[in-house]
Amino acid sequence: MPELPEVEVSRLGITPHIEGKTITKIIVRNPNLRWLVPADVNKAEGLVLKRVVRRAKYLLLETDLGSIILHLGMTGKLRVIDKSVPVIKHDHFDIEFENGVVLRFNDSRRFGACLWQPKGEVHELLQKLGPEPLTEAFHDTHLFEQSRNKQVAIKNFIMDNHVVVGVGNIYANESLFKAGISPKRAAGKVSKQRYQSLTQYIKQTLQAAIKQGGTTLKDFVQSDGNPGYFAQELLVYGRGGQPCVQCGTKLDEVKIGQRTTVYCKQCQK
């Protein structure tokens, strides 16, 4: 599943081609995605796309009347292409612009979404989200205070979108390894000092992923058709059974919250 860096890379890739352009037509070929595509998205026709912003793993295409909300789901891909490019299987909708390009959404598993958020309102999917990890609103004090008396494993804690958004499985594994914290440790048992370190590593890990183009996942490619490259630098995720890059100990692979978790028993306490 595309994580926050992949979504941010998609935003960076499509923005120069469509921001500030008038939406001339919206074509919905298959409204049966994760949620039914509402007819209200057609309200954006004839309006200028003011901004493309990201909130958690959602992209918001803002206009004067409201925003089209896009979510990539598990296999969703966005392309900015000429409107003459033939439609292929699983091309579920197009957003056409005055400059002759379309933002085309392809999703083989149809877990993605295209929704509408009226201006001045916040869609229910976005209402209870925690702070963005790359902003000043996300800091060690926030994590520490939110974690008090919590017995949940810290890996699940930092992946909770009510606590902080966008720290998916891959980056939770990586950040906890860099901070030397066992993913099994209870969130409430982690000190303020260790949360300070973890916060910094979460930010650094996500920023590095965005800079390098997002993690290479099976079904993700950038808007220009090139895969991301950050997977080549992963320290623990996907390396279960291999030696730890720091101490050489065999990395453990377990399930925490039904998610694959890889860590070093020697380096992470």
The CATH number of whichever domain residue 149 belongs to comes to 1.10.8.50
- Is residue 194 a known part of a binding site? no
The CATH number of residue 76's host domain is 3.20.190.10
Confirm whether 99 is domain-assigned.
yes
HSE-CB of 173 using CA atoms within 13 angstroms: 24
Longest Cα–Cα distance in the chain: 60
Regarding whether 95 and 26 lie in a shared domain, the answer is yes
- Is residue 29 a known part of a binding site? no
Q: Which of 57, 79, 104, 178 is catalytic?
A: 57
Regarding whether 179 and 94 lie in a shared domain, the answer is no
pTM value? 0.89
Regarding whether 145 and 236 lie in a shared domain, the answer is yes
DSSP 115-149: EEEETT---GGGTT----TTSTT--HHHHHHHHTT
Count of the separate structural domains present in the chain: 2
pLDDT of residue 230 exceeding 60, the answer is no
Regarding whether 102 and 187 lie in a shared domain, the answer is no
Last residue of a domain, one of 126, 161, 184: 126
Confirm whether 182 is domain-assigned.
yes
- Is residue 109 a known part of a binding site? yes
Closest alpha carbon to 179 in 163, 201, 157, 158: 201
User: pLDDT of 176-199, one tens digit each?
Assistant: 999 999 999 999 999 999 999 999
Confirm whether 131 is domain-assigned.
no
pLDDT of residue 231 exceeding 80, the answer is no
- Output the pLDDT for position 232: 58
Q: Which of 110, 184, 259, 265 is catalytic?
A: 259
Regarding whether 47 and 162 lie in a shared domain, the answer is no
Is 259 marked active-site?
yes
User: pLDDT of 14-30, one tens digit each?
Assistant: 999 999 999 999 999 99
Under 8 Å CB-to-CB from 137, ≥6 apart: which residues? 131
Q: Which of 3, 6, 96, 174 is catalytic?
A: 3
User: pLDDT of 33-65, one tens digit each?
Assistant: 999 999 999 999 999 999 999 999 999 999 999
Is 57 marked active-site?
yes
- Output the pLDDT for position 216: 43
Closest alpha carbon to 244 in 201, 180, 183: 180
Q: Nearest 5°: phi and psi at 189?
A: -100, 5
Regarding whether 118 and 11 lie in a shared domain, the answer is yes
Regarding whether 151 and 94 lie in a shared domain, the answer is no
Confirm whether 165 is domain-assigned.
yes
Regarding whether 154 and 106 lie in a shared domain, the answer is no
Confirm whether 268 is domain-assigned.
no
Regarding whether 114 and 19 lie in a shared domain, the answer is yes
Last residue of a domain, one of 82, 102, 126: 126
Is 8 marked active-site?
no
Mutual angle of helices 140-147 and 192-211, in 10-degree steps: 120
Is 3 marked active-site?
yes
Question: What is the rounded average pLDDT of the residues 110-125?
Answer: 97
- Output the pLDDT for position 2: 78
Contact by Cβ (8 Å): 139, 130: no
Confirm whether 41 is domain-assigned.
yes
Q: Which domain holds residue 115?
A: 4-126
Contact by Cβ (8 Å): 145, 187: no
Regarding whether 190 and 120 lie in a shared domain, the answer is no
Regarding whether 103 and 62 lie in a shared domain, the answer is yes
Q: Which of 2, 5, 133, 183 is catalytic?
A: 2
Confirm whether 146 is domain-assigned.
yes
Q: Count CB-CB contacts under 10 A for residue 151.
A: 9
pLDDT band of residue 125 (cuts 50, 70, 90) is: very high
Confirm whether 269 is domain-assigned.
no
- Output the pLDDT for position 6: 87
Owner of token pair 């001045």: 120
Regarding whether 169 and 145 lie in a shared domain, the answer is yes
3-state secondary structure of 24: strand
Last residue of a domain, one of 101, 126, 151: 126
pLDDT band of residue 218 (cuts 50, 70, 90) is: very low
